[in-house]
């Protein structure tokens, strides 16, 4: 921070105003203010930046202080407020990073869930399409959410025949999808 002797702070002492050099106050209060700020920030470099910022603001504003004690109180309050603002800013950044990290993880999990779901569906449909024709029709209607009676009526079959096709289809699908289960276990283990 470049301080020239022309940078003065107007301070009222009694009935008269005195202009006191900022450099004098900077040299006298910089270290105590930095240590005060560090009690909040726990980082000496950040605390130095905060104190320098307070002095820069002081130079820009050219505020008239009613006494030296009023000026000291201003310095300590300003440093405290800027230190607390710094901590709030860090908290916002931390919360944002946590939220983003959670969202990314959630998106990754959702992505892999969708990949697995689509792969399973694709393999299931491929296996169903390879079933014998009547068995295939029964399973396609099952996937539409139809019950045994509705399937029997739609395909003009007895309920027992529908149950028989379901049983045969289940045996064939279990045999053909056995490899899919092994692949799914590998995929799930990798997630």
Greatest mean pLDDT range, 11-25, 50-64, 66-80, 158-172: 158-172
Q: Whole-angstrom Cα distance, residue 47 to residue 51?
A: 6
Distance of CA 147 to the CA centre of its chain: 45
Domains present along the chain, CATH in parentheses? 8-94 (1.10.1740), 130-190 (1.10.10)
CA dihedral 134, 135, 137, 139 (to 10 degrees): 170
Q: What is each CA distance from 62 to 4, 55, 59, 174, 189, in whole angstroms?
A: 15, 11, 6, 84, 66
User: What pLDDT digit, counting tens, does each position of 29-61 carry?
Assistant: 899 999 999 999 999 999 999 999 998 888 787
Three-state secondary-structure class, residue 153: helix
Selection from 141, 115, 128 nearest residue 168 by Cα? 128
Question: Under a CB-based contact definition with an 8 Å cutoff, are residues 27 and 1 in contact?
Answer: no
How far, in Å, CA of 69 to CA of 40, rounded?
A: 23
49 CB-side CA count, 13 A = 8
pTM: 0.47
Residues above pLDDT 90, as percent of the chain: 31
Q: How far apart are CA 191 and CA 189, in angstroms?
A: 6
The H or E element containing residue 108 is helix 68-129
Q: At 19, is the secondary structure helix, strand, or coil? A: strand
- Model confidence over 145-158: pLDDT tens digits? 899 999 999 999 99
Q: What does the CA dihedral 178, 181, 186, 189 come to, rounded to 10 degrees?
A: -150
pLDDT, position 135: 92
Pick from 62-66, 79-83, 105-109: least confident: 105-109
Give residue-wise pLDDT tens across range 91-145.
888 777 777 666 656 666 667 677 777 777 788 888 889 999 999 999 899 888 8
């Amino acid at each position: 921070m470049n301080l020239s002797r022309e940078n003065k702070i107007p301070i009222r002492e009694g009935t008269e105003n005195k202009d006191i050099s900022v450099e004098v106050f900077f040299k006298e209060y910089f270290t105590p203010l930095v240590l005060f700020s560090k009690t909040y920030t726990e980082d000496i470099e950040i605390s130095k930046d905060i104190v320098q910022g307070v002095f820069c603001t002081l130079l820009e504003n050219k505020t008239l202080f009613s006494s030296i004690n009023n000026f000291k109180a201003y310095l300590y309050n300003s440093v405290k407020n800027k230190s607390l603002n710094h901590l709030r800013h860090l908290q916002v950044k931390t919360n944002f990073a946590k939220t983003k990290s959670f969202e990314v993880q959630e998106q990754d999990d959702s992505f892999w869930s969708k990949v697995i779901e689509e792969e399973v569906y694709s393999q299931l449909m491929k296996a169903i399409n390879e079933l014998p024709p009547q068995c295939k029709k029964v399973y396609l209607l099952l996937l539409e959410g139809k019950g045994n009676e509705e399937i029997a009526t739609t395909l003009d079959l007895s309920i027992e025949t529908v149950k028989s096709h379901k049983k045969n289809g289940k045996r064939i699908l279990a045999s053909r999808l056995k490899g899919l289960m092994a692949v799914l276990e590998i995929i799930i283990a990798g997630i």
